[in-house]
């Protein structure tokens, strides 16, 4: 979903008596798949016809072999997901992001071990890890921000090798994995499934390589073909450059040709044929007339995203009938799909910091809706460094967020969300996996998490120009990316021998008033080489545009920004101007934007100069 996320200091850092349901699982012991070269540059495609598997799968790929997981391979029937034995199964997932960012590694490994994070996820009652990645990371040779003192077996691994280890350790923890192609490159979310740099052929080739790599490992139960199509993406419109329904059909068929056992998750679009708009990836009303039909039956699972008003003030949140109207919104956009037996639904992202009454009402409603309809889900996110939603653990990456887990309890503890019992004996829960022998050297560079650039599912201000149809999936213009990254993590625990960023308390920030709006500076965290700051831009009478400048004599460069564009005047100041979804801020609404700065020190309470129009 949105990766405009980044959590603030969490309330209540003591562990509480959470009713964590530890599901029975088998301790899986198996060798990690042999390191394989990621898919090379995609073969040239003469047309948008389905790509041949034999020509798209790089040679030399071997298949990892692993014992069955708790669920094994899954398939669909009508509106339900079933196990191989035909038992109804509801996937209970959570996203752990980072492998789609420039770190090319799950975030938080600068503080906790991979195994402990996965065990924590399992202990909370989740059954599945949704793992975002980027095509850029698949081809990279380097991962960053991993603490070798607590993750010695992850050092000096390529991102693909690290992905193998994540899958292996997830199996050992009793978790399934859904691979999520979150973005093509590691810097920004794309509107469409391809960009000028990453063609459709590359997208398909990389998916086929992954499907082949894990085809004998039922730990990997599904693939999320592309995260949050939006902007010009359409459903069944017939334009080969923007028709996501047609592209998902091509991509799904190519994946299933490599591994026919996988579930194919297909997200929705933002701007629907009816003229209505919803969350990025959230609109699936077009499925009624034009479903995705694949050559292998019983594989499609539709995967919308949904968020509360704190992420974006969709019109239904201000209706007089809110929150009672949410059921009809969900029914129209995606709920009807499983209810009418077209296909199952897995809500691929939903989450909130639960800091407002409106968000609390939304969370209660969607949890009740999912539970009543026995709908699969993947919560966003495990990570606390999610700007829009925060995480399921606090900023120390360990302490459970009791309020959020209590809100999710009807989903995580409901017997209806687990496979029906069988006659087989219940195996003992797995022991905590031990790292294998591996180098123990601590990385010389201090891990510094970069901003997390997943796309926030906010409606675009206006539809972007539709690329001109061409014979190949390479548009003449690069689709405009509208990334809304999260700020970096704010771990409070500092593992031995490897300094980490620490949360930087700023007290109660005071807003700076300007004509039509106020801006509030929030220093999210800082470390020896930089900092992340967010601004809350609140419309009083509303503004069509805004700019903020603050003094910073220690800054050396702008690393990333979301919701605004920023420039640096060396040894003097930084100036940022609202852009994209945060350019205009109507009266009564608040936009949360942010910037990551490379600097020798962070300003704590700088004087803001704000201009508006």
Active site residues: 228, 349
Helix (H) or strand (E) holding 558: strand 555-562
Both tokens assigned to 412: 């995580």
Two structure tokens written together for 453: 């650039």
The C-alpha atoms of residue 607 and residue 574 are separated, in whole angstroms, by 12
Is residue 479 classed as helix, strand or coil in its secondary structure? coil
Residue found by looking up tokens 């798209």 in the block: 56
Count of CB atoms situated within 10 Å of the CB of 11: 11
Strands (E), 84-141: 92-95, 128-134
| Rg (the chain; Cα; Å) | 23
Query: Rounded to whole angstroms, how far apart are CA atoms 231 and 239?
Result: 14
Q: How many residues does the chain have?
A: 613
Per-residue CA distances from 608 to 21, 413, 550 (Å): 48, 48, 5
Q: Rounded CA gap, 554 and 281, in Å?
A: 40
Strand-pair category, 74-77 with 300-302: unpaired
Token pair for residue 29? 């012991």
With H, G, I as helix, E, B as strand and everything else as coil, classify residue 89: coil
Instruction: Give, in degrees to the nearest 5, the angle at Cα 88 between 85 and 91.
Output: 110
Beta strand 555-562 pairing with 502-503: unpaired
- Residue 59's contacts (CB-CB under 8 Å, 6 or more residues apart) are none
* 439 CB burial (10 A radius; 0-12, 13-18, 19+): exposed
In 10 A of CB 288, how many CB atoms? 11
User: Quick check: helix, strand or coil at residue 243?
Assistant: strand
Q: What is the DSSP letter of 16?
A: -
């Amino acid at each position: 979903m949105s990766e405009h996320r980044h959590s603030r200091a969490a309330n209540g850092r003591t562990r509480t008596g959470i009713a964590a349901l530890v599901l029975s699982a088998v301790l899986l012991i198996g060798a990690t798949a042999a390191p394989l070269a990621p898919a090379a540059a995609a073969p040239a495609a003469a047309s948008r016809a389905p790509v041949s598997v034999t020509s798209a799968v790089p040679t030399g790929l071997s298949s990892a072999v692993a014992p069955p997981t708790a669920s094994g391979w899954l398939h669909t029937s009508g509106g339900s997901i079933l196990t191989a034995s035909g038992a109804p199964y509801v996937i209970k997932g959570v996203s752990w992001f980072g492998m789609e960012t420039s770190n090319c590694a799950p975030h938080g490994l600068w503080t906790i071990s991979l195994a402990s994070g996965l065990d924590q996820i399992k202990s909370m009652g989740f059954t599945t890890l949704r793992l975002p990645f980027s095509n850029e990371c698949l081809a990279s040779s380097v991962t960053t921000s991993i603490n070798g003192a607590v993750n010695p077996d992850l050092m000096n691994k390529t991102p693909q090798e690290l992905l193998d280890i994540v899958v292996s350790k997830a199996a050992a923890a009793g978790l399934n994995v859904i691979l999520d192609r979150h973005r093509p490159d590691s810097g920004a979310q794309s509107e469409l499934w391809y960009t000028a740099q990453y063609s459709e052929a590359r997208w398909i080739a990389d998916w086929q390589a992954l499907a082949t790599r894990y085809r004998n490992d039922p730990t990997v139960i599904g693939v999320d073909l592309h995260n949050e199509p939006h902007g010009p993406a359409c459903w069944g419109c017939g334009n080969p450059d923007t028709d996501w329904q047609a592209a998902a059909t091509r991509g799904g068929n190519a994946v299933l040709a490599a591994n026919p056992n996988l579930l194919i998750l297909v997200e929705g679009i933002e701007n629907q044929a009816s003229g209505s708009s919803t969350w990025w990836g959230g609109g699936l009303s077009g499925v009624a007339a034009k479903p995705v039909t694949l050559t292998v039956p019983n594989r499609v699972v539709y995967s919308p995203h949904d968020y509360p008003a704190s992420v974006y003030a969709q019109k239904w949140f201000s209706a007089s009938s809110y929150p009672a109207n949410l059921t009809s919104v969900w029914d129209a956009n995606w709920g009807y799909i499983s209810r009418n037996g077209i296909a199952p639904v897995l809500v691929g992202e939903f989450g909130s910091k639960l800091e407002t009454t409106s968000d609390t009402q939304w969370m209660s409603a969607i949890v009740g809706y999912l539970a009543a309809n026995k709908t699969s889900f993947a919560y966003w996110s495990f990570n606390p460094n999610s700007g829009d939603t925060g995480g399921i653990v606090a900023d120390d990456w360990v302490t459970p967020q009791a309020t959020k887990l209590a809100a999710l309890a009807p989903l995580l503890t409901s017997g209806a969300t687990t496979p029906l019992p069988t006659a087989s004996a219940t195996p003992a829960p797995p022991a905590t996996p031990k790292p294998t022998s591996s180098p123990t050297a601590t990385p010389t560079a201090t891990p510094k998490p970069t901003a997390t650039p997943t796309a926030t599912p906010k409606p675009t201000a206006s539809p972007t120009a539709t690329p001109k149809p061409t014979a190949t999936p390479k548009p003449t213009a690069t689709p405009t990316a509208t990334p809304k990254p999260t700020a970096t993590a704010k771990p409070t625990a500092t593992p031995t021998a490897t300094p980490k960023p620490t949360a930087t308390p700023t007290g109660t920030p005071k807003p700076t008033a300007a004509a039509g709006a106020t801006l509030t500076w929030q220093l999210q965290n800082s470390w020896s080489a930089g900092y992340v700051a967010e601004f809350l831009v609140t419309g009083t009478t509303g503004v069509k545009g805004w700019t903020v400048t603050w003094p910073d004599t220690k800054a050396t460069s702008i690393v990333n920004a979301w919701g605004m564009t920023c420039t640096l005047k060396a040894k003097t100041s930084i100036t940022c101007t609202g852009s994209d979804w945060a350019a205009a801020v109507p009266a009564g609404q608040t936009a949360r934007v942010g910037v990551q700065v490379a600097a020798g020190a962070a300003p704590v309470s700088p004087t803001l100069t704000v201009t508006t129009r």
